Structure 1
């Protein structure tokens, strides 16, 4: 899944990913295990309510790199 992130249509970050899930355009959400739980608690609940699958990766650094950005990322989502 991480290899696909660089080349697919996506949103990076908690706010952008939350908007995508709320609008029904996210097919899946990726969350870094090492981010603060208070930051991602809301999107986890939203994904559970909207039946959007969540995939976890080991680190924010790994997720940011997979998204093709130069900073760490706590959350990303892939569009339908």
Structure 2
């Protein structure tokens, strides 16, 4: 699912920053952990909604971290395919 390291952004702040700078969203997927604190993921989810992008939810931060091949949990990730 999340197999190309060079096209992966992990973390809410980094994801928001990249999402604001992109002009083309055609090959972009947004992943958010269901168990992440609402206040943490809210800026990313609202920006995605504003840009009419689908947000894909993953059960836990731990699972999203594993999918991103990192040793800690992740609240959010962007994947450019």
Deviations 1:10-60 (A, max 9, x none): 100001111121112651210000010000111111001112210001000
The match for 2:54 is 53
Q: Which consecutive aligned stretches of 4+ in structure 1 deviate over 3 angstroms post-superposition?
A: none
Q: Normalized against structure 1, the TM-score is what?
A: 0.87
1: CA distance, partners of 2:61 / 2:21: 25
Instruction: Please list every run of 5 or more consecutive structure 1 residues that lacks an aligned counterpart in the other structure.
Output: none
Match of 1:6 in 2: 3
2: distance between equivalents of 1:28 and 1:21?
11
Structure 2, unpaired ranges of 5+: none
The count of aligned residue pairs is 77
- After TM superposition, the score normalised by the length of structure 2 is 0.86
Q: Where in structure 2 are the equivalents of 1:33-44 lying within 5 Å?
A: 33-44=34-45
For the residues of structure 1 that align with 2:80 and 2:21, how far apart are their CA atoms?
11
